[in-house]
Amino acid sequence: MEPGFIARQLIKRALTEDIGREDVTTSAIVCENEIGCARAVAKSPLVVAGLFIFEEVFLCLDPAMKTTRYVAEGKQVQPGDILLTLKGNLRSILTAERVALNFLQRLCGIATLTRAYVDAVAGTEAKILDTRKTTPGLRSLEKYAVTAGGGCNHRFGLADGVLIKDNHIWAAGSIAAAVKRARSHAHHLLKIQVEVKNMAELAEALAAGADVIMLDNMNLCQIKEAVAIVAGRVPLEASGNVTLANVREIAATRVNFISVGALTHSAPAADISLLLGATERG
């Protein structure tokens, strides 16, 4: 994935928000044509994601900025490792620093947390999925970061598949009615997933012909019972109350997927610094 129209528009909005009329500090202290060098350095163990947008922030202010990447996307790095170096207009480096780091720290944080979940279920059949619980406007980047961490994407948006949740069931009157309506409306390539909370709803979803079933906030005993009942007839997704402490036990039940909203709504920012090196007059 490389920066596209959406990423560039996000960068422009973020820079406008941060700079306002002028970076008064940098303008006062740094000469207009001064050239600087800087390096992005990991301050904690992390998985790299988003170097392309980090570069693009600086290039928006200085198209002549020279960047060199030292690690690949998805790479695990350690404290002190250099991720990328910059050489270009020093004013541009200082002015773009915070916005560039905000994007990179956010995306690396998501990738790092995702990798922890993926590692926790290694050797099982379960795949770790993200959700739509993303920062408004940043979904494409955040879902990219999940894949950089080794996870898989659930629906990108509402058009990507039918997911019948409790409010849909209430509106339709029953699971069977909701599935019937969805089947008549959706084209033949759209799968229909149904969220269930108990074994009675599981049985109804199976009878209605659901393509995928989401086990919502079920405990381990309930998930194991559901896996036994379904017996491989449709894929099962466990969702709700998933943590690093219990995800391996959930995966051991042999569900196919485990969705984790925390990957995008609660990932801590990765600790990364931008450090200036020697400068020269231009």
pLDDT of residue 5: 64
| Residue 5 vs residue 178, higher pLDDT | 178
195 has catalytic annotation: yes
Mean pLDDT of 243-255: 98
Of 98, 180, 224, 254, which is the active-site residue? Answer: 98
Of 73, 130, 216, 237, which is the active-site residue? Answer: 216
184-213 per-position pLDDT tens digit: 998 888 999 999 999 999 999 999 999 999
pLDDT of residue 147: 98
133-165 per-position pLDDT tens digit: 999 999 999 999 999 999 999 999 999 999 999
Cβ-contact 223, 94 below 8 angstroms: no
133 has catalytic annotation: yes
Model pTM greater than 0.85? yes
Evaluate if residue 232 carries a pLDDT over 70.
yes
Of 125, 165, 166, 280, which is the active-site residue? Answer: 165
216 has catalytic annotation: yes
62 has catalytic annotation: no
Distance of alpha carbon 250 from its chain centroid, rounded? 21
21-74 per-position pLDDT tens digit: 999 999 999 999 999 999 999 999 999 999 999 999 999 999 999 999 999 999
Of 55, 62, 97, 195, which is the active-site residue? Answer: 195
22 has catalytic annotation: no
